[in-house]
C-alpha cells in the first residue's frame, strides 16, 4: 500500500479511497487513522476525558477553505474548546456544554487561516499509547501543538470564549 501526506495535517497516511468527513478536510487515509484512534480509545479506555481533546485537535487541525459555514464554525468552536481546556483548565464535559452555546454565536463565524502550518503533531501521535496516562499525555501534547499553530487567532478565540463561556 502506498502512503502520502494528508492535505490537512501533513501526516503520512495510507493512500486509500474511502469516506471522509463533509467539512473536516482531511484525506481518506487520515480520516481512517482518526477512526482507528477512536476505536482504540473506545476499546481500551471507554469514553475518557481525553476524548474531548482528541476530537478538538483533529477538527481544528483540518480546516477547510472557509467557504462553507460548517467548516468555519467547526474550526472556530473546536479552537474555543481547546482554549478553554488548555488555558482555563475547563473540564472536558464543561467544554462540551460550551460548544453547544457557541454554535449560536451572533454574527456567524470568521474565516480563520493559519500562517504557520498544522503543527508538529498529528493523529498518528495518538496511536498505540502504552496506557491511559500515555494516551492522556499524548492528547494534551497534540492539542497544545494544534492550539499553538493557530497563534495568530488566539485573541479572537479568547474573546469568543470570554463572551460565551
Extract the runs of DSSP E, i.e. beta strands, from 107-165. none
pLDDT for 107 equals 66
Mean pLDDT of the chain: 93
Kindly state the cell numbers that stand for 73.
464554525
Q: What is the pLDDT of residue 96?
A: 87
* Cα 90 from chain centre: 16
Please count the residues of the chain. 165
Q: What is the pLDDT of residue 165?
A: 54
Q: Which residues of the chain have pLDDT under 50?
A: none
Residue 40 pLDDT: 96
Instruction: Report whether 23 contacts 64 (CB < 8 A).
Output: yes
Contacts of 18 (CB under 8 A, 6+ apart): 28, 29, 31, 32
| Predicted local distance difference test score (pLDDT) of residue 154 | 97
- Chain segment 57-91, per-residue pLDDT in tens: 999 999 988 898 899 999 999 999 999 999 999 99
| Cell 483533529 -> residue | 58
Amino acid at each position: 500500500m502506498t502512503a502520502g501526506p494528508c492535505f490537512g495535517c501533513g501526516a503520512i497516511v495510507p493512500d486509500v479511497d474511502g469516506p471522509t468527513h463533509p467539512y473536516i478536510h482531511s484525506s481518506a487515509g487520515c480520516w481512517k487513522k482518526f477512526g482507528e484512534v477512536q476505536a482504540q480509545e473506545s476499546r481500551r479506555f471507554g469514553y475518557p476525558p481525553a476524548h474531548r481533546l482528541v476530537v478538538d485537535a483533529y477538527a481544528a487541525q483540518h480546516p477547510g477553505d472557509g467557504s462553507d459555514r460548517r467548516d468555519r464554525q467547526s474550526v472556530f468552536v473546536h479552537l474555543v474548546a481547546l482554549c478553554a481546556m488548555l488555558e482555563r483548565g475547563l473540564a472536558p464535559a464543561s467544554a462540551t456544554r460550551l460548544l453547544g452555546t457557541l454554535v449560536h454565536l451572533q454574527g456567524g463565524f470568521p474565516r480563520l487561516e493559519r500562517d504557520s502550518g498544522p503543527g508538529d503533531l498529528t493523529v498518528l501521535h495518538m496511536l498505540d499509547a502504552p496506557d491511559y496516562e500515555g494516551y492522556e499525555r499524548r492528547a494534551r501534547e497534540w492539542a497544545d501543538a494544534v492550539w499553538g499553530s493557530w497563534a495568530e487567532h488566539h485573541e479572537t478565540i479568547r474573546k469568543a470564549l470570554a463572551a460565551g463561556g
